[in-house]
Homo-oligomer: A and B are copies of this chain.
Amino acid sequence: MAKQEKMVDAITSMEEDFAKWYTDVVKKAELASYSSVRGCMVVRPYATALWENIHDDLDRRFKELGHENVMMPMFIPESLLQKEKDHVEGFAPEVAWVTHGGEEELTERLCVRPTSETLFCDHYREIIHSYRDLPKLYNQWCSVVRWEKTTRPFLRTMEFFWQEGHTMHETREEAIAETERMLNVYADFCEQDLAIPVVKGQKTEKEQFAGAQATYTIEALMHDGKALQSGTSHFFGDGFARAFDIKYTARDNSFQYPFQTSWGMSSRIIGAIIMTHGDNNGLVLPPAVAPIQVVIVPIATHKPGVAEKAEELYNRLKAFCRVKLDTTDNSPGWKFAEYEMKGVPLRLEIGPKDIEQNQCVLVRRDNREKTFVSLDTLETAIPEQLQKVRDGLYQSALERREAMTYTAHTLDEIKDIAANKPGFIKAMWCGDRACEDALKEQAGITSRCIPFEQEEIADVCPVCGKKAAKMLYWGKAY
């Protein structure tokens, strides 16, 4: 009974309080708990399974392109962090410092890695000697730590989980191509597998990664009109290679510095999934990464044959999808609500009447559409319905993003939209940092990216009136 009451207890609606809705979903869908460690979360089994599916999908994509995984130390000696000037300036203020090992005080402080460029470079110096050693296409799965003041589960936590790719190349062109290639991997993963439409583009210099020459990004729009940076890919030129003295013998026998990239996607993406697809009944998961793709709910289990048929279907479905059979004695209505909260993409109901007619009911999580399906065709019908859920989610998210993307021509227009209409704002920009700072100060928005797909909205920068160089996406961001 206690459990039933807990479920009946509805979550805050997103229209009423989006931030509260978010934390309610995180809690009720049993994704994460707060821990006794300030700013760190406990990732519970359901979200861990989700992250494992994200891991497996991305890892397969990386390996197909020739990347290899490695495991680097979690600590960076202070002197190593300081080797690249811009990098240390960007990260030193937000790292955790280890100063003691057991009883003894360390002669040099170690920081817990906030990102691992420096460690990879330290290793690359040791293993890269000749053009034959290039490219090096390494990746690692780990957690990193950044000392954040305010935190929210998945979106911003002191420790978070991610993968970080670090590659070294013979030429500038090859490294830039890798930077673009990996951004495209992220974009395709988001759009195809997570059903999250993204805008691909480049960060302005102000927003780029510490130490990078160029940062590419994919930006997604959440239900509340805020943007979420969902994956980034950086081109470093040979800056780190020079700072770390990584040299190789080139084809012409000269010594050269290799060109470097890094790229990462983190457990933040779970926040993006929640805030892109979730609704007032809870979580909605894209089928490709859902820990449970289909839940079987038997109806009137006391009637002869129902339990057996449900079990038989479970064993059949196991062969081609991630399926759960709920045989607890909770009521069907309670189970419906529970698996809706958990965002299971497809529900299969099977009762005595269905069995008589050799059919079952499939109910989509995204729009609650019901389909009666012959039991003879489940092997094709279920993958079809899962695909429809993915397509439905993508389409809704895309339409919402389009409805929430505004074009502005003047500073007043920008301020008005920023104050009253949550979403993306498309506007021209002269390229000056001063105008970017002005929009932050006057309209409370930041530049999200210079999209690869450019449009010519106007000739001049709406802030300073000078000639416009680029069209930008602006917005409020997580």
Contact = CB atoms under 8 A, between A and B. Distances in A.
Interface string A159-185: 101000000000000000000000000
Given A94-B102, A100-B96, A102-B95, A35 B143 contact: no
A80 interface: yes
Interface string A24-37: 00000000010111
A70 B44 contact: yes
A103 B97 CA distance: 9
A32 to B, nearest CB: 9
A99 interface: yes
Contacts of A74: 40, 74, 112, 143, 145, 159
Interface in A89-118: 92-103, 110, 112
A123 B33 contact: yes
Contact of A70 (B45, B76, B98, B103): B45
Q: A3, A35, A49 — which one has the most chain B CB atoms within 10 A of its CB?
A: A35
Interface string A64-98: 00001111111111001000000000001111111
B103 A93 contact: yes
A75 B45 contact: no
Q: A98, A129, A147, A161 — which one has the most chain B CB atoms within 10 A of its CB?
A: A98
B80 A36 contact: yes
- List the number of copies, as a whole number: 2
Contact of A98 (B43, B49, B98): B98
A10 interface: no
Contact of A37 (B42, B77, B138, B142): B77
A188 to B, nearest CB: 23
Interface in A302-356: none
Contacts of A129: 2
A2 B123 CA distance: 20
A250 interface: no
B119 A35 contact: yes
Nearest to A69: B48
A142 B42 CA distance: 13
A296 interface: no
Interface in A365-400: none
Contacts of A99: 97-100
Given A37-B77, A76-B37, A123-B42, A100 B97 contact: yes
A159 B73 contact: yes
A112 B145 CA distance: 12
A464 interface: no
Interface residues of A, number: 56
A41 B102 contact: no
A38 to B, nearest CB: 8
A130 B72 CA distance: 42
Q: A69, A95, A101 — which one has the most chain B CB atoms within 10 A of its CB?
A: A101
Interface string A180-199: 00000000000000000000
Nearest to A142: B143
Contacts of A42: 70-73, 119, 123
Contact of A52 (B49, B69, B119, B127): B69
A51 interface: yes
Given A40-B75, A45-B138, A75-B37, A147 B102 contact: yes
A244 B53 CA distance: 33
Contact of A48 (B36, B37, B68): B68
5 contacts: A37-B119, A43-B70, A45-B70, A97-B99, A101-B147
Interface in A121-137: 122-123, 126-127, 129-130, 132
A83 to B, nearest CB: 10
Contacts of A80: 36
Nearest to A3: B132
Given A3-B132, A48-B69, 20 more contacts: A35-B73, A36-B77, A36-B119, A37-B75, A37-B76, A40-B74, A40-B75, A42-B123, A45-B70, A48-B68, A49-B68, A52-B69, A74-B74, A74-B112, A92-B102, A96-B98, A96-B110, A98-B98, A98-B112, A99-B100
A107 to B, nearest CB: 10
